[in-house]
Amino acid sequence: MPTATAGDTAILARDFDLRHLSPEFYANPYPVYSALRTHEPVKRMPDGSLFLTRFRDVQAVYRDPKTFSSDKTVEFKPKYGDSPLYTHHTTSLVFNDPPRHTRVRKLIAGALTARAIAAMEPGLVRLVDGLLDAAAERGRIDLIGEFASAIPVEIIGNLLDVPHAEREPLRDWSLAILGALEPSLTSEQFERGNRAVTEFVDYLRDLVARRRREPGDPQHDVLTRLIQGERGEGGDGEQLSEEELLQNCIFILNAGHETTTNLIGNGLVTLTEWPDQRAALLEDPSSIESAVEECLRFESSNQLGNRMTTSDTQIGGVPVARGTPITLCIGAANRDPEQFAEPDRFDIRRAPNRHLAFGFGIHQCAGLSLARLEARIAIGRFVQRFPAYRLDGEPTRGGRVRFRGFASVPLLC
Ligand code: HEM
């Protein structure tokens, strides 16, 4: 392939518009991100928003939640109007600022305890081994449908102790609600998203009522902890309102689904593309921890974050007016050569590896320990069980820019 000239990459950067992306971009956005970092790191989009690709700029924005707000009550109004999607997203922890964010975060982070997460490990190993046994019998597997997506749905279902017989609709609800966060939205996606929120809230209202009547063990049952707030901890009795509880349960279920599915899927596909790294992992299974960090960095499953400026400011020396929407490109920041030596090389022993795949600062992912645990067990055990697994046809991309991953990946194992 001919190498791109500086003129070519300048054109790539100039023509970039998040609302009009090509199939080549979805397949491999990194050349475009690299062009943007080089030529227009603080890129103004046709709609007036800014798109950031440098690690230091993205991190600086995360560090200053006062100037760069997460509150979406104004920004989402034109997109969602007065709709269930609007209520859901604007009540979710991730789309709020302090003081509401601080209060809700304390309760959610307090419920996702190390003890609750550690208690999930034996069940997780059993689940993963069961899926691997089924794949071994067939000799082939759709990595996403039959493995990667089956794990988070089960784990988050367990976290909130959702009865097994009631879990089936969770994944579709989650995909529909997160799909509605794409930069441009069809009326069909909008309707699907709204229907999903309504059905999900109805379902959870009933589940919460049942749990109030028969509380679970608050050591392990995150939903019971959220219902009880801090009462059991001798705290100040702060509790979530009913609306906050229902919408944030949806948020937790969603936050841990597609992102973790894609981490597992992206990681196992990337290992097929870097056979020396797969061999290194096979030789030293204890490198799974740093391998998962590298999977998070190299193909970040959550590629974009958003903020809005609350005052006139500057980013990377560029003046920015109050009320400017900002897109933080995590996928680009995690390939920034200023932060990572040879960023386009997948290196399972990379150290240091201070990536931004889980964000940074007050909104940093509250489920990161769970996501890491799931990925370590899923990726580690898959590779050890099927050391020579390989693609059995072309993978199909998920077709989303925010949540990077595959819809299906046929594998021979
Ligand atoms: C690979 C998997 C995951 C990735 C890449 C990921 C990524 C992220 C990112 C980038 C943010 C910050 C958003 C922002 O600042 O705008 C975030 C927030 C959050 N994530 Fe995750 N996440 C993952 C898995 C999970 C899981 C498994 C859970 C729950 C069990 C979870 C729960 C949350 C919560 C509650 C927040 C909001 C935190 C806040 O606003 O204070 N995530 N996640």
Map out the domains of the chain with their CATH numbers: 25-412 (1.10.630.10)
Question: 94-100: which pairs have CB atoms within 8 A and are 24 or more residues apart?
Answer: 94/70, 94/251, 94/255, 94/363, 95/70, 95/71, 96/70, 96/71, 97/65, 97/69, 97/70, 97/71, 98/65, 98/362
Q: Atom of ligand 1 at shortest distance to CA of 330?
A: 10
Q: Are 207 and 199 in contact (CB under 8 A)?
A: no
Can you tell me the distance from the alpha carbon of 177 to that of 89, in angstroms, rounded to the nearest whole number?
9
Can you tell me the distance from the alpha carbon of 132 to that of 166, in angstroms, rounded to the nearest whole number?
24
Can you tell me the distance from the alpha carbon of 168 to that of 190, in angstroms, rounded to the nearest whole number?
22
How far does the centroid of ligand 1 lie from the alpha carbon of residue 255, in Å? 6
Question: Side chain identity at 348, as an amino acid letter?
Answer: I
The pLDDT of residue 111: 81
Output the ligand 1 site: residues, CB below 6 A. Answer: 70, 93-94, 105, 108, 156, 252, 255-256, 259-260, 263, 301-302, 305, 357-359, 363, 365-367, 370-371
**CA-closest residue to ligand 1 atom 34:** 366
The pLDDT of residue 134: 97
The pLDDT of residue 405: 97
Per cent of the chain over pLDDT 90 is 78
The pLDDT of residue 394: 95
The β-bridge partners of 43 are: 51
Helix (H, G, I), strand (E, B) or coil at 124: helix
Q: Atom of ligand 1 at shortest distance to CA of 372?
A: 1
Can you tell me the distance from the alpha carbon of 245 to that of 342, in angstroms, rounded to the nearest whole number?
44
How far does the centroid of ligand 1 lie from the alpha carbon of residue 368, in Å? 7
Question: Side chain identity at 367, as an amino acid letter?
Answer: G
The pLDDT of residue 231: 54
**Mean pLDDT of the residues in the chain:** 93
Q: Taking the C-alpha atoms of 336, 339, 343 and 348 in order, what is their torsion angle to the nearest 10 degrees? A: -140
The pLDDT of residue 236: 56
The pLDDT of residue 3: 66
The pLDDT of residue 234: 44
The pLDDT of residue 211: 94
The pLDDT of residue 232: 47
Low-confidence ranges of the chain (pLDDT < 70): 1-3, 230-237
How far does the centroid of ligand 1 lie from the alpha carbon of residue 181, in Å? 15
The pLDDT of residue 114: 84
Can you tell me the distance from the alpha carbon of 245 to that of 109, in angstroms, rounded to the nearest whole number?
13
Find, among 330, 304, 19, 26, the residue nearest to 185 by Cα. 19
**CA-closest residue to ligand 1 atom 20:** 365
**CA-closest residue to ligand 1 atom 17:** 365
Burial class (CB within 10 angstroms; exposed 0-12, middle 13-18, buried 19+) of 275:
exposed
Can you tell me the distance from the alpha carbon of 78 to that of 6, in angstroms, rounded to the nearest whole number?
39
The pLDDT of residue 237: 60
Q: Residue count of the chain, please give it.
A: 413
Stretch (H or E) spanning 320: strand 318-320
